[in-house]
Structure 1
Amino acid sequence: MILRKYMSLLGVGSARIDLLLPKTTYKTGETIYGHFDIKGGTVEQHIKRIDCDLVKVNHHTGAEEIIDTTSILTSTYIYPEQCSKLSFTFQLPSVMEPSTKEFSYQFKTKLTFSKGIESKDMDLIRIAK
């Protein structure tokens, strides 16, 4: 048991987060509805927060620009092998450049624990004209 606890602190067997969206293409100003799937690892972990950033990526320079962020502050536990769903709602800005070969958009999600390595997820979306 102690070995599993220390392994989860290093990220091995820790809880995982996954943002699930109903589609990949959205229009500016649209509201996105989805949910986070959180799956417990091998030991109980204390969740402190969930952060989800909408990021614009320039493929030529590699630069990333955070467009907007949503955070959920919490003080809950995820137990071994437990599956949990948490609603996600995000209002896209009304003024955004559409996705092109040069620019793309993605949601970068981070699940932060009171101890241990963060769980991260990345989901590409397309912004249509």
Structure 2
Amino acid sequence: MSFFNKMLASVGIGAVEVNTHLEKSSYYPGEDIRGVIHIRGGNVDQNVDRIYVKLMTEYIREHDDKKFTESFIIAKVKLSDSLVVKQGDKLEIPFEFPLPLETPLTLSRQPVWVHTGLDIEYAIDPKDRDFIEVTPHPYTSVALDAVSELGFQFKKATCEHHPRLGRGLPFVQEIEFYPGREYASRITELELIMYLESDRLTVLVEIDRRGRGLSGWLERSFDMDERQCRMILEKSELQKGPTYIAEILKNMLDRQI
């Protein structure tokens, strides 16, 4: 193959192409993601050091009163060692990996995607990006339904930089709700951070209280109008359904406000 074609391939012209086909587009944390990577050889033989897929998302970091969006690799799976993709080759590489339990939900357009890459020395690496929808795990779904049963309405969800609370991640996903009629006079906002495990769900609950009169003004002035608490919901409790969990949450809210 000519030197000219090799030079073109090194900058991506006539080079190896990669395209990933996922079994479906919607998953919940803990579910297996399955797909096939389709690789098509270019105009020259090329040495591929490795093939990998990464699960990625974004979070917001604040610095000097400015907000920045940063990408983060939640998981990376190596699918092959070095190989040669010959001119005109057509390869298929199936893969499967579990969607990590800490994967954020794709609420409020939170992006989560599968990034496929081929490492090729001295050349532009071929890449593919496939966005997926991440829906609530059955445990998380019970908790969210419980919040809804108490009349709270979804406001927004954001992934914010917070390594102390991230449990190994540099961010947490904060899910915010407006209060319904029962709590409208006492709560301005309810915020949840959820940690999913195989046998339980831990929920950090932050209550933004609606202060009244002089005492309310003082609380707001000194940032004392927020209350934080935690619920640890075991699998056996979650299996009892949203109404049971709603009663636990209601008792907690009533104690705090």
Q: Fold match, TM over 0.5?
A: yes
Distance in structure 1 (CA, Å) of the matches to 2:44 and 2:133: 36
Equivalent AA in structure 2 for residue 20 of structure 1: H
- Where in structure 2 are there 5+ consecutive unaligned residues? 61-66, 137-257
User: Residue in 2 aligned with 1:20?
Assistant: 21
3-state SS in 2 of match to 1:6 = helix
Equivalent AA in structure 2 for residue 110 of structure 1: G
Distance in structure 2 (CA, Å) of the matches to 1:80 and 1:70: 26
Identity between Structure 1 and Structure 2 (%)? 25
User: Residue in 2 aligned with 1:71?
Assistant: 78
Alignment of 1:44-123 (within 5 A): 44-58=45-59, 61-123=68-130
Distance in structure 2 (CA, Å) of the matches to 1:114 and 1:66: 22
Equivalent AA in structure 2 for residue 107 of structure 1: V
- CA drift of 1:50 comes to 1.3
Q: Which has the higher helix share?
A: 2
Distance in structure 1 (CA, Å) of the matches to 2:118 and 2:5: 19
Contact 1:50 1:112 in 2 (8 A): yes
Aligned residues: 129
In structure 2, relative to structure 1, the CA distance for the partners of 1:62 and 1:88 (3 Å cut) is same
Q: Which structure exhibits the higher relative contact order, with contacts defined as CA atoms closer than 8 Å and separated by 6 or more residues? A: 1
Q: Which has the larger radius of gyration?
A: 2
Deviations 1:63-117 (CA, angstroms, capped at 9, x unpaired): 2121111113422111111110011111111243311124120011211123321
3-state SS in 1 of match to 2:14 = coil
Equivalent AA in structure 2 for residue 82 of structure 1: D
Higher mean C-alpha deviation, range 82-91 or range 108-117: 108-117
- CA drift of 1:12 comes to 0.8
Distance in structure 1 (CA, Å) of the matches to 2:89 and 2:11: 20
User: Residue in 1 aligned with 2:32?
Assistant: 31
In structure 2, relative to structure 1, the CA distance for the partners of 1:5 and 1:96 (3 Å cut) is closer
Distance in structure 1 (CA, Å) of the matches to 2:57 and 2:11: 30
Equivalent AA in structure 1 for residue 72 of structure 2: E
Deviations 1:3-61 (CA, angstroms, capped at 9, x unpaired): 11111011111101111101110011001111110110000011111122111124884
- Where in structure 1 are there 5+ consecutive unaligned residues? none
Contact 2:50 2:83 in 1 (8 A): no
Q: Which has the higher strand share?
A: 1
TM-score (norm 1): 0.90
Contact 1:15 1:119 in 2 (8 A): yes
Q: Does 1:125 align with 2:126?
A: no
